[in-house]
Amino acid sequence: MELHTPRLTLRPYSAEDFAAVHRFASDPQLSAYVEWGPNTPQDSRDFLVSCLAEGQADPRAAYTFAITRSDGGEGAGEPIGTVGLTLDPTRRTDNDGATTPAGPGTGEVGYVIAADQWGRGYATEAAAAVVGFGFGVLGLERIRATCRPANAASARVLEKTGMVLEARLPAHKLIRGRWEDSLLYAISGPA
Ligand SMILES: CC(C)(COP(=O)(O)OP(=O)(O)OC[C@H]1O[C@@H](n2cnc3c(N)ncnc32)[C@H](O)[C@@H]1OP(=O)(O)O)[C@@H](O)C(=O)NCCC(=O)NCCS
């Protein structure tokens, strides 16, 4: 499955993407505000394996896309970042083991862009496409995202994607041994 935007193709990862993924995922600048990284080569290989497994899961719990430029120029088609949508479970297991629907679907979006591609609007374009996919194709009711309060670029991406700041979540993520607050952003789908 691919998503297309004016400048980008969002496509599934393959094992051949290792070098491109590891180039940006091993950059300490990218992991300053997230729980993972900087990636070792094994971390990047494990990430690609998890992406392949995710595509085969039934029901599917996540959609992780390689962000690639589609302009045909040098580097087009190579991953310059990642955008993903993780779905919350839509069925609840009761004490007796029976499962029941737990309401309309919700999910969480996240993204990274290689540092040499920052400031060109790519994260906003990719996040907006995935939000549109979540509402339009998957029929989700609500999509949220979190970022660390100091991550002004990410907060700006979420605002430009139409998300609204709802709350500050204290000690929400353990990042390299420190519990960090998060800002919770969300958007509801068409009624
Ligand atoms: C956050 C990130 C994805 C943004 O990617 P990007 O492609 O540069 O984002 P965009 O170009 O679409 O938009 C960035 C916006 O933030 C703004 N911005 C950038 N740095 C900023 C800063 N220090 N303070 C305030 N705004 C900032 C830009 O000006 C732009 O807004 P504008 O269009 O109104 O001018 C990228 O910086 C990144 O990968 N960071 C590391 C990983 C990460 O933090 N991911 C998010 C985890 S919550």
Q: Are strands 79-87 and 164-175 parallel, antiparallel or unpaired?
A: unpaired
Distance in angstroms (rounded) separating the CA atoms of residues 63 and 1? 10
CB of 80 closer than 6 A to ligand 1?
no
Q: Which ligand 1 atom is the nearest neighbour of the CA of 127?
A: 12
Give the model confidence (pLDDT) of 33-85 as tens digits.
Answer: 999 999 999 999 999 999 999 999 988 899 999 999 999 999 999 999 999 99
Instruction: Tell me, in angstroms, the distance from the centre of ligand 1 to residue 101's CA.
Output: 37
Report which of residues 96 and 118 the model is more confident about: 118
- Tell me the pLDDT band of 103, cut-offs 50, 70 and 90: low
Whether the link from the prior residue into 149 is cis, omega within 30° of 0, is: no
Give the model confidence (pLDDT) of 105-130 as tens digits.
Answer: 999 999 999 999 999 999 999 999 99
CB of 152 closer than 6 A to ligand 1?
yes
pLDDT for residue 30 = 97
Q: Are strands 99-101 and 142-147 parallel, antiparallel or unpaired?
A: unpaired
Mean model confidence pLDDT for the chain:
95
Distance in angstroms (rounded) separating the CA atoms of residues 61 and 21? 22
CATH number, position 120 = 3.40.630.30
Pocket test of ligand 1: the residue of 112, 160, 182 to mutate, having most ligand atoms within 8 Å of its CB, is 112
- Tell me the pLDDT band of 95, cut-offs 50, 70 and 90: confident
CB of 157 closer than 6 A to ligand 1?
yes
Distance in angstroms (rounded) separating the CA atoms of residues 191 and 179? 36
Beta carbons within 10 angstroms of residue 123's beta carbon: 24
Instruction: Tell me, in angstroms, the distance from the centre of ligand 1 to residue 118's CA.
Output: 7
Type of residue numbered 55: G
Give the model confidence (pLDDT) of 138-149 as tens digits.
Answer: 999 999 999 999
Q: Which domain holds residue 87?
A: 3-188
Number of domains in the chain: 1
What is the phi/psi pair of residue 61, to 5°? Answer: -105, -10
The protein residue with its alpha carbon nearest to ligand 1, atom 19, reads 153
Instruction: Tell me, in angstroms, the distance from the centre of ligand 1 to residue 56's CA.
Output: 32
CB of 119 closer than 6 A to ligand 1?
yes
- pTM of the predicted model as reported, rounded to 2 decimal places: 0.95
